[in-house]
A and B are shown apart, each in its own frame.
Chain A
Amino acid sequence: MELLPALAISASGLTAERLRLDIIANNLANINTTRTPRGGPYRREVPVFAERLQEAMGQLPGRPSSRAPGAGVEVAAIVEDNSPPRLVYDPSHPDADANDYVHLPNINIVNEMVDMITASRAYEANVTVLNAAKAMTLKALEIGR
């Protein structure tokens, strides 16, 4: 049993939460974007997290339950939020439609802020776990010294 996989697991958590923070930053930066390369307003993006299971290699046969649980988390996909765009009446806007309504991105700033705090707290929790694993590894080096 080794401790180094624990560091890798925490690192996967850090990467995932960092990516989520990046996506939230991108959403907030584009909160008023009405033009995208494929036309129409920007659409909110959300990451989909999935549990990363451990590869089946190196496991003892017949002892399935004594193995380590998994290998952390991974971002399975980044999907677009399909909720309808916000409509704002503004005839002077260059991107207003035939009815003088502007289609703004479907981003709710409150949602994004809450997600941001969740992501940053989860990031901190992963850092704490990483530090604990590091301390344990250093302690293990003291065995028999």
Chain B
Amino acid sequence: MFLTPTMYVLEKALDTATLRQRTIAHNIANVNTPGFKRYQVSFEDQLSRALGLEPGLPLYRTNPYHLPPSGLELAPQVSRDTSTTMRQDGNNVDIDREMVDLAQNSLNFNVAVQQLNTRLAMLRYVINEGRR
């Protein structure tokens, strides 16, 4: 009852922000490691596909024992970006990009926490008003 889709998505957003924070920290810690290739986290495309914002093949499960189609269960994915090279030693960490990602990620995290708090405050409000 309490785990509404909104809560679920917010939880996943927090998960993603945490994972992304670790990924950015790892990338920046390895900014001087020769041959290091940066990691990236993808989640938003999955989310918009799950919310039906993006055109795609809609899949429904008619039986709970059916295997879920990929993309129905939201999970942030970590992948390695081996396509580029920033420097002579093969390292492709772009520090500017990482710092921008870091700022954006902190904001995303704060937004998710704030929304979650608003949700919980609403629940609390409903519970308290019923008691009176």
Contact = CB atoms under 8 A, between A and B. Distances in A.
Q: Is the interface of A mostly helix, strand, loop or mixed?
A: helix
Contacts of B22: 3, 5-6, 9, 68-69
A24 interface: no
B2 to A, nearest CB: 12
Interface of B: 14-15, 17-19, 21-26, 28-34, 36, 39, 75-80, 95, 98-99, 102-103, 105-106, 109-110, 113, 116-117, 120
Interface of A: 1-3, 5-6, 9-10, 12-13, 16-17, 20, 49-51, 63, 65-73, 118-119, 122, 125-126, 128-130, 132-133, 135-136, 139-140, 142-145
Given A3-B22, A17-B32, 14 more contacts: A6-B25, A12-B29, A16-B29, A16-B32, A51-B36, A66-B77, A70-B30, A72-B26, A73-B30, A119-B32, A129-B28, A129-B29, A132-B21, A143-B117
B25 A10 contact: yes
A128 B109 CA distance: 16
Given A51-B33, A51-B36, A144 B25 contact: no
A69 B39 contact: yes
Select the residue from B14, B33, B75, B113 with max chain A CB neighbours within 10 A. Answer: B33
B75 A72 contact: no
Given A139-B113, A142-B113, A126 B21 contact: no
6 contacts: A9-B22, A9-B25, A13-B28, A68-B19, A69-B78, A129-B28
B23 A69 contact: yes
